[in-house]
Amino acid sequence: MTREEILNELKGVVAPYTANKEALNNLNDQTDLITDLKINSANLVDIIIDAEAKYEIEIDYDSADKMLNVGSCIDVISEKLNQKQ
């Protein structure tokens, strides 16, 4: 999958946890999950679990710790997808 394809799918993963639809529509690598999308930190684990289910990957704790903005989420998902192949 390309980064752009993951970015578009990531919108669906984070959408249930953000009320900031404008930031969601303008999602880019620099979008911060907490400060830009206003996602409560208590939902960060939900996003990791949802991403694992969607892509059928396992995200280890160290990788999960890095998933603070959209770019790092795409990096981690992309890396785990490549490891599957």
Partner 1 sequence: MTSTGNDIVALTAINVARTKQPNFHSRIISSIESDLYYSDLEEQLAFEHFVWLAWSVKESAYKYLKRFDTGLVFSPSKMRIVGLKRVAEYLHGAVQCGDQMLYFQSVVNNKFIFSIVNDKADFSETYWNIKQIDFNGPATQSGAVREFLLEKLAELFPATDLQIAKSAYGWPIIANEEGELPTPVSFTHHDNFVAYSFQLTDSLWKAHQHPAEVF
Q: Is there binding between residue 41 and partner 1 (CB under 8 A)? A: yes
In the bound state with partner 1, the residue whose beta carbon lies nearer, of 11 and 66, is 66
- Cα angle 28-32-38, degrees, rounded to a multiple of 5: 115
Q: Is there binding between residue 45 and partner 1 (CB under 8 A)? A: yes
Residue 41 sits at φ, ψ, to 5 deg, of: -60, -25
Q: Is there binding between residue 15 and partner 1 (CB under 8 A)? A: no
Tokens standing for residue 32: 């911060």
Binding residues for partner 1 (CB under 8 A): 19-20, 35, 38, 40-42, 45-46, 48-49, 52, 61-62, 64-66, 68
